[in-house]
Copies of this chain bind each other. A is one copy, B any other.
Amino acid sequence: MGPTQEDVAKRARVSRALVSLVMRDSPNVSEQRRRRVLRAAEELGYRPNAFARSLASKRLHTIGVLINDVTNPYFGGVYSSLATAAEAAGFDLLVAPGTRSADKEAALVRTLLEHRVAGLALLSPLMTTKELRSLTSSWPTVLIGRDAALPGVDVVTTDELQAARLVLGHLTELGHRHIVHVTGGANRSARDRASGYRTAMRELGLESRELPGAFSHEAGQVAAREILTMAPRPTAVVAANDLVAVGAMGVFESHGLRVPDDLSVVGYDDSQIARLDLVQLTSVCQGVDHFGSAAVRLLLRRIDDPETSRAVERIETTLVVRRTTCPPRSSSVVA
């Protein structure tokens, strides 16, 4: 099983306790001893045992992360920023790979808890708020990409209303009035996004119209066919994410409609797909890079003081305008 502090101590002819002090970078160790210990450790190829360490210290250096769907690059981005922030704070990450099924999530979180993670970061969990409450009631938890009114659970999420204002501001400025939203489904994140759309439309004095969907390419296709039957046809589509947007665009084009000339399309995520030369989708950039640092900050705060009041951090978005939006065809811009 590899050498232990005991072995290192023996080789360096010092006590085991001293080895422990050196490993923990204690200041009160003479330079002479420190060097002797480090050399012995080096020679033996000693590696600290993270288990024994956390067992003894009870101060864990691991944050448990639940990812709802690993194959979704959006989560990859969030995770990546989380990893950077966690590393900077001296934490490891233990990841539970989600499978897009709500019931498995509970088991995954349980596994994380068995590893006595210092805190939980849950990326867009699908489980119900009730389950969430029972699982996280006694652990520092931060929700990412999903809101939930749970006491003691911090939240980092996109500012959906601000995002919607950004999108609709852009579209109305171009002259659009008839703008539909293809939703991401019945889950909480999707509902928040739809709600942002609805509010922003109302603020603009426009009538909102939603088509139920999902965060998938297929959902975009289905919704697009629906849109084609609408009369009068909307002049702009706000899709729940890029995948949906691109799915819809495919259908539009195969029906002889040109994007953006006949129909403007906006997505969310500013994903790789949106950036493709072939696509150049106007998309909402959710500032995913800020998610990680915000989440880690909130988590550390709560680990430090579990009783601190609930914080909700809404990350501002930006709109990346590309080539799928332009003024509507037969309509001049109305001031």
Residues of A within 8 A of B (CB): 1-2, 47-52, 54-55, 58, 70-73, 76-77, 79-80, 83-84, 92-95, 97, 99, 110-111, 113-116, 138, 217, 221, 243, 246-247, 249-251, 253-254, 272-273, 275-279
**Docked-complex contact B116 and A51, CB < 8 angstroms:** yes
Q: A116-B50, A250-B277, A279-B278 are in contact. Are A272 and B217 (CB under 8 A)?
A: yes
List 30 A–B pairs whose Cβ atoms lie within 8 Å, in order of A's numbering.
A1-B58, A2-B138, A47-B113, A47-B114, A48-B114, A49-B114, A50-B114, A51-B51, A51-B52, A51-B54, A55-B55, A70-B76, A70-B79, A70-B83, A73-B76, A79-B97, A92-B94, A92-B111, A92-B115, A94-B94, A95-B95, A217-B275, A217-B276, A217-B277, A221-B277, A243-B272, A246-B277, A250-B277, A250-B278, A254-B277
Complex Cα distance A312/B97, Å? 26
- Would you call B73 and A72 a contact (CB within 8 A)? yes
Please indicate the chain B residues that have their CB under 8 angstroms from the CB of A110 in the complex.
Answer: 47
Residue pair B83, A76 in contact (C-beta under 8 Å): no
Chain B residues in 8 Å Cβ range of A277: 217, 221, 246-247, 249-251, 254
Mostly, the A contact residues are helix
Contact between chains at A246 and B276 (CB < 8 Å): yes
Most B CB contacts (10 A, CB to CB) among A51, A79, A84, A116 go to A51
CB neighbours of A70 from chain B (8 A): 76, 79-80, 83
Which residue on chain B has the smallest CB distance to residue A45? Answer: B138
For the complex of A and B, list the 7 residue pairs with the smallest distance between their C-beta atoms, beginning with the closest. Answer: A250-B277, A83-B97, A71-B76, A95-B95, A51-B51, A50-B114, A50-B115
A307 to chain B, nearest CB (A): 17
**Which residue in B50, B72, B272 is a CB contact (below 8 Å) of A273?**
B272
Contact of A278 among B95, B99, B249 (CB under 8 A): B249
Closest B residue to A250 using CB positions: B277
Kindly list chain B residues whose C-beta atoms are within 8 Å of the C-beta of A94: 92, 94-95
Which B residues lie within 8 Å of A76 (CB)?
70-73, 76
A324 nearest CB across to chain B (Å) = 11
Q: CB-nearest residue of chain B relative to A217?
A: B276
Given A50-B115, A250-B276, A272-B243, check contact A80 B71 (CB 8 Å). Answer: yes
Contact among B2, B72, B278 for A253, CB-based, below 8 A: B278
State the CA gap A80–B55 with chains docked (Å). Answer: 30
- The docked-state distance in angstroms from the alpha carbon of A246 to that of B279 is 10
User: In the docked arrangement, what's the CA distance between A48 and B114, Å?
Assistant: 6
Give the Cβ gap from A211 to chain B, nearest Cβ, in Å: 18
Q: Which residue of B lies closest to A73 (CB)?
A: B73
**A55 neighbours in B (Cβ, 8 Å):** 49, 51-52, 55
How far is B117's CA from A92's CA once the two chains are assembled, in angstroms?
A: 14
| Alpha-carbon separation in the docked complex, A335 to B144 (Å) | 59
A275: B residues at CB distance < 8 A: 217
Contacts of A50 in B (CB 8 A): 114-116
Residues of B within 8 A of A73 (CB): 71-73, 76
